[in-house]
C-alpha cells in the first residue's frame, strides 16, 4: 500500500511538472507546423511567468496575471514572427535572441522593481491559481485504490492544468478538422501550394506564431502562479527546450505531444523522488541519468536509430516566391 501511495504521489507531481511542458510543446507545434521554427519557447515562457507574477502581485488577481503573461509572451512571439516572416531573418538566431532577451529582461526588471534578487514578492490567495478540489475529494480519498486516483490524479490541480488538457483537445481538433488547421498544416509543408491556392502565407504564419505566444503565456503563468508562488530568476530552467525535445519526439502531433510531455514530466518526478534513495537490489540510481533521458531519446530519435522524426518540410525556411 505504501508503494501505491508513492506511485500516486509521483504521478501527481509528474502531472504538475508536465503542465508547462504541454503548453510549450503545443506552442512549438503550432509554430513549427506553420513553418516557423521556434527555439524561443523558453524565453516566451519566462517572460510570461514574470509578467504574470508581476501583474498578479500588483492586482492580486491570478486572471489578470494570466492575461499579462499572455500579452508579454505574444509580444515576444511577434518579434520572432516579424523577424522570421516579414524580415525573412534566420529563425534560429531570432529564437536565441528571444531567449537571451527574456532571461536578461525578466531578471533585470524583477530586481529593479522588487529588489529581491530577481524574485517577485510571494503570491498568495487570489493572486495564484489554487488547486481545484473536486466534489467529495477528501472523502473519496479514503476509498482504497480508486480514492487516491480521484483525489490526487483527477482532482487537486490548478485551473491552468485543466487548461493544458483543453488546449491539447482544441489543438488536435482545430488542426485536423477545421479550415484553418488544414491551411496551417499545408503551409508548413509547402507554402507555395498554399499561395497558389489563393491563401496568404504571411497571415497564416503570423496567426500560428501568435497562438504559440498565447500558449507559452499559459505555460509561463502556470509556472509562477500555479506551480510556484511567484517568479524566480530563470524559473523555466530549460523547460522550453524539453518541450522542444518532446515536440520532436511526438513528431509534431498534438496528442502524442501531450503524452510525451506527461512522460517527460513523470520522468522528472521520478528523478526528484529518487534523489539519494537507495533502491534495493539496484543501489542508488543516478538521478542525472533519468534527467538526461528526454534529451538522449530525442537525439536518438532524430538520428533515426529508432523510428524517424521528420519535421514539417518548410520549417525554418522563409517563404520567397521562386522564379
Partner 1 sequence: MSAPIELPKWADVSLVPVLAVIVAFLVAGLVVLGIGESPVRASILLVQGALGSGEGIGYTLYYATNFIFTGLAVAVAFHAGLFNIGGEGQATMGGLGAALICLKLDFLPWWIVLPLAIMGAMAFGAVWAFIPGWLQVKRGSHVVITTIMFNFLAATLVVYLLVNVIGKPGSMSPETRVFEASAHLPYLHEALAAFGITIPQSPLNLSFVIALVASFLVWLLIWHTKLGYAIRTVGHSPSAATYAGISIGKITMITMAISGALAGLLAVNEILGVQGRLLLEFSSGYGFIGIAVALMGRAHPLGIILAAILFGMLYQGGTELSFEMPRVTRDMIVAISGLVILFAGALDGLIRRPMAGAFARLLKSEG
Partner 2 sequence: MAGQAPAISLSSIDKRFGEVRANKDVNLTVARGSVHGIVGENGAGKSTLMSILYGFYEADRGEIRINGNLVRIRSPKEAIANGIGMVHQHFMLVEPLSVIENVMLGAEGGAMLAKGEAKMRAALAKLSADYGLAIDPDAIVGELPVGLQQRVEILKALVRGAEILILDEPTAVLTPDEAEQLFALLHALAGQGKTIVLITHKLHEIMAVTDHVSVMRRGEMVATLETAATSPAELADRMVGRHVLLDVSKGPAHPGAVRLTVENLVIRDAHGSLKVKNINFSLRAGEILGLAGVAGNGQSELLEALAGIIQPTLGRILLDGDDLALTAPTPADRRTHGVLHIPEDRQRMGLVSAFSAAESMILGFQSEVAFGSGPMLSTEAVRAHTETQMEAYDIRPRDPSLKTSKFSGGNQQKIVLAREIEHHPKVLLVGQPTRGVDVGAIEFIHKRLIALRDAGVAILLVSVELDEIMSLSDRIIVMCGGVITGERTPETTNDRDLGLLMAGVTERAA
Q: Which is nearer to partner 2, 175 or 262 (CB)?
A: 175
Q: In the bound complex, what is the minimum distance in angstroms from residue 77's beta carbon to partner 1?
A: 14
Q: Which residue has the cell 531519446?
A: 297
Phi and psi torsions of 171, nearest 5°: -60, -45
Phi and psi torsions of 166, nearest 5°: -60, -40
Q: Reduced to 3 states, what is the DSSP secondary structure of residue 44?
A: helix
Q: 239 vs 39, 46, 85, 279, CA distance in Å? A: 11, 10, 25, 28
Name the segment binding partner 1 (CB under 8 A); options: 45-53, 63-71, 146-154, 289-297: 289-297
Q: Please name which of 53, 104, 58, 100 lies closest in space to residue 221, comparing C-alpha atoms.
A: 53
199 is a site residue for partner 2 (CB under 8 A): yes
Grid cell for residue 238 = 530549460
Q: What number of residues does the chain have?
A: 323
Q: 285 vs 7, 248, 271, 272, 306, CA distance in Å? A: 17, 27, 9, 11, 25
Cα 13 to Cα 21: distance, rounded to the nearest angstrom: 13
182 is a site residue for partner 2 (CB under 8 A): yes
194 is a site residue for partner 2 (CB under 8 A): yes
Half-sphere CA count of 254, side-chain side, radius 13 A = 17
313 is a site residue for partner 2 (CB under 8 A): yes
How many chain residues interact with partner 2 (CB under 8 A)? 22
Residue 166 contacts by C-beta under 8 Å, 6 or more apart in sequence? none
Contacted entry of partner 1, partner 2, none for residue 107, CB cut-off 5 to 8 Å set by kind: partner 1
Q: In the bound complex, what is the minimum distance in angstroms from residue 152's beta carbon to partner 1?
A: 29
Q: Which of 6, 86, 87, 178 forms a contact with partner 2 (CB under 8 A)? A: 178
84 is a site residue for partner 1 (CB under 8 A): yes
Q: In the bound complex, what is the minimum distance in angstroms from residue 255's beta carbon to partner 1?
A: 22
111 is a site residue for partner 1 (CB under 8 A): yes
Q: Are 51 and 64 in contact (CB under 8 A)?
A: no
Q: Are 218 and 66 in contact (CB under 8 A)?
A: yes
Q: Which is nearer to partner 2, 79 or 250 (CB)?
A: 250
Cα 160 to Cα 227: distance, rounded to the nearest angstrom: 10
Q: In the bound complex, what is the minimum distance in angstroms from residue 43's beta carbon to partner 2?
A: 30
Q: Which of 6, 87, 133, 196 forms a contact with partner 2 (CB under 8 A)? A: 196
Q: Which is nearer to partner 1, 19 or 107 (CB)?
A: 107
User: For residues 137-156, which are near partner 1 according to CB under 8 A?
Assistant: none
Compose the 229-258 pattern: x for residues touching partner 1 by CB under 8 A, - for all others.
Answer: ----x----x--x--xx--x----------
Phi and psi torsions of 313, nearest 5°: -60, -35
Say how many C-beta atoms besides its own lie within 10 A of residue 237's C-beta: 13
108 is a site residue for partner 1 (CB under 8 A): yes
Q: Which of 27, 45, 68, 102 forms a contact with partner 1 (CB under 8 A)? A: 102
Catalog residues that contact partner 1 under the rule CB under 8 A. 39, 79, 82-84, 87-94, 96-105, 107-109, 111-113, 115, 118, 233, 238, 241, 244-245, 248, 286, 288-289, 291-292, 295-296, 298-299, 302-305, 320-321
Which residues contact partner 2 by CB under 8 A?
A: 177-183, 185-186, 189-190, 192-199, 313, 321, 323
Amino acid at each position: 500500500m505504501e508503494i501505491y501511495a508513492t506511485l500516486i504521489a509521483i504521478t501527481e507531481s509528474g502531472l504538475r511538472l508536465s503542465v508547462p511542458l504541454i503548453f510549450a510543446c503545443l506552442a512549438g507545434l503550432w509554430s513549427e507546423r506553420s513553418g516557423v521554427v521556434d527555439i524561443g519557447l523558453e524565453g516566451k515562457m519566462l517572460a510570461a511567468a514574470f509578467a504574470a507574477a508581476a501583474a498578479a502581485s500588483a492586482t492580486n488577481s491570478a486572471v489578470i496575471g494570466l492575461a499579462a503573461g499572455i500579452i508579454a509572451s505574444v509580444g515576444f512571439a511577434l518579434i520572432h514572427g516579424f523577424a522570421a516572416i516579414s524580415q525573412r531573418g534566420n529563425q534560429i538566431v531570432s529564437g536565441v535572441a528571444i531567449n537571451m532577451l527574456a532571461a536578461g529582461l525578466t531578471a533585470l526588471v524583477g530586481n529593479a522593481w522588487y529588489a529581491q534578487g530577481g524574485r517577485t514578492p510571494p503570491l498568495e490567495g487570489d493572486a495564484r491559481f489554487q488547486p481545484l478540489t473536486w466534489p467529495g475529494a477528501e472523502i473519496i480519498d479514503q476509498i482504497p485504490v480508486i480514492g487516491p486516483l480521484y483525489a490526487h490524479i483527477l482532482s487537486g490541480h490548478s485551473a491552468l492544468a485543466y487548461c493544458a488538457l483543453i488546449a491539447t483537445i482544441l489543438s488536435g481538433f482545430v488542426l485536423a478538422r477545421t479550415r484553418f488547421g488544414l491551411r496551417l498544416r499545408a503551409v508548413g509543408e509547402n507554402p507555395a501550394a498554399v499561395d497558389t491556392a489563393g491563401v496568404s502565407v504571411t497571415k497564416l504564419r503570423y496567426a500560428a506564431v501568435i497562438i504559440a505566444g498565447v500558449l507559452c503565456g499559459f505555460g509561463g503563468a502556470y509556472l509562477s502562479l500555479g506551480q510556484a508562488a511567484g517568479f524566480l530568476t530563470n524559473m523555466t530552467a530549460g523547460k522550453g527546450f524539453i518541450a522542444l525535445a518532446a515536440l520532436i519526439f511526438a513528431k509534431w502531433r498534438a496528442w502524442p505531444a501531450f503524452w510525451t510531455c506527461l512522460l517527460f514530466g513523470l520522468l522528472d518526478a521520478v528523478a526528484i523522488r529518487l534523489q539519494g534513495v537507495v533502491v534495493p537490489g539496484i543501489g542508488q540510481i543516478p538521478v542525472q541519468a533519468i534527467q538526461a533521458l528526454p534529451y538522449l531519446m530525442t537525439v536518438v530519435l532524430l538520428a533515426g536509430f529508432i523510428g524517424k522524426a521528420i519535421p514539417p518540410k518548410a520549417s525554418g525556411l522563409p517563404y520567397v516566391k521562386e522564379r
